[in-house]
Structure 1
Amino acid sequence: MVEPTSVSPTPGSLAMEGGSVGTPPEMPREEQQLAHALTTGLEGSSLKKSSWGILVPVMVGGALVALYAVATPFITPALRKVCLPFVPATSKQIENVLKMLQRRRGSVVDIGSGDGRIVIAAAKEGFTAVGYELNPWLVWYSRYRAWREGVHGSAKFYISDLWKVTLSQCSNVVIFGVPQMMPQLEKKLEVELENDARVIACRFPFPHWTPDHVTGEGIDTVWAYDVSTFRGKEKRP
């Protein structure tokens, strides 16, 4: 009978036995310190990357919010039912409007006053000037500009829809309109204004009225209509 041969287990067989991993031999102290340093460095690097991964989206989000706040005054007016986008008046347009106000008396009202340039310019010429604007950001900015220019006492701005403003006491009405709104605005002005009032249109003329005065050219053209002239004509139904 042959005695079974005793075989010493190898390190490999210990590692596989029971499905567990054997304990490795103890690492020298220098190598342990090196391994610890490497591990700590990798963890620190991961934390830095994680911090940047959070910080960058926050910075981008903050920039977008700031941009939205700045752009809102320019975008919001274009979302109205009747499109009346905010486009700042040029220096030449303001000059032409002031020409149409020469030798005129009474107040000046700008319906859809935007950033207040026309109202402030009229106030500097000695008029009591009022601006009506639906966008609150533009109204507050206009008030600031009037204060900065030293005419806040004679230049007033109100948050209001131009269609809800009563114009019966207005002597001079300025409008930077668009073609879609001009026919409806004609009817409103014909009903509300007194005979001695004047309407000054910029960029686009009224479709059914004949202007009494015209000045400028291109986008700087300004048309002046005296109520006493167009009221004598037959009104449209």
Structure 2
Amino acid sequence: MRTITNLLGSLLLLLCATGFVHAQETATRTPDVPYVPTRQVVVDAMLKLAKVTKDDVVYDLGCGDGRIVITAAKEYGATGTGIDINPERIKEANANAQKANVTDKVKFVEGDLFETDFSKATVVTLYLLPTVNMKLRPILLEQLKPGSRIVSHSFDMGDWKPDQTINVDGSTIYFWTVPAKKK
């Protein structure tokens, strides 16, 4: 009996330690970009450029304080998901969604952009760095349905020519439509 108790105790300790190490690995991964909030005038222009409607599912990759998906829900009636690796940003985004009374339309997920399924999105917004955009580009093209829209604040996607580029209050915004899949 004592051997079984010791074995179960050891197994429980091992499981707890494994969970703790995994939690530490997730929490200590360095974000790919620094947190710099998108100004509201740029958020508004990004959503307008993407022609967001109540039928859209907006995903903001690197959502920060959640302002893009919150605005999409509040102003257009869209649903949305914000993804960020920083747990503090997720807490802040959830608090902001609650203040804006849109918790029924938006959710925020702590996660790694490169390990997240965002195939349900009809609109994807980005304010990342060029290297991150380029790393995400094949994932976006693989996961998103043709006709889905991508809007990026400040940074393009290399040789993928945007459908439209606009300047708003000193910021450049790029817009692409996901093309039909090649057979």
Deviation at 1:218, TM superposition (A): 6.9
Quick one: which of 153, 167, 174 aligns to 1:216? 167
Quick one: which of 75, 100, 103 aligns to 2:49? 100
**What residue in structure 2 maps to residue 47 of structure 1?**
none
What is the TM-score with the length of structure 2 in the denominator? 0.77
Deviation at 1:190, TM superposition (A): 1.4
Q: Is the 8 A contact 1:132 1:159 kept in 2?
A: yes
Quick one: which of 124, 130, 136 aligns to 2:81? 130
Q: Is the 8 A contact 1:212 1:225 kept in 2?
A: yes
Identify the structure with the greater helix proportion.
Answer: 1
Corresponding position: 1:140 with 2:91: yes
Residue deviations 1:144-164 (CA, integer Å, cap 9, x gap): 111011111112111111111
**What residue in structure 1 maps to residue 63 of structure 2?**
113
Instruction: Please list every run of 5 or more consecutive structure 2 residues that lacks an aligned counterpart in the other structure.
Output: 1-26
Q: Secondary structure at 1:109's aligned position in 2?
A: strand
The number of equivalent residue pairs is 155
RMSD: 2.3
**What residue in structure 2 maps to residue 85 of structure 1?**
34
Q: Secondary structure at 1:85's aligned position in 2?
A: coil
Identify the structure with the greater strand proportion.
Answer: 2
Aligned-partner Cα distance in 1 for 2:126–2:176: 12
Instruction: Please list every run of 5 or more consecutive structure 1 residues that lacks an aligned counterpart in the other structure.
Output: 1-75
Aligned-partner Cα distance in 1 for 2:28–2:178: 28
Deviation at 1:217, TM superposition (A): 4.4
Between structure 1 and structure 2, the one with the greater Rg is 1
Aligned-partner Cα distance in 1 for 2:67–2:150: 17
Identical aligned residues as a percent = 27
What is the TM-score with the length of structure 1 in the denominator? 0.60
Higher RCO structure, 1 or 2 (CA under 8 Å, sep 6+): 2
Aligned-partner Cα distance in 2 for 1:189–1:165: 11
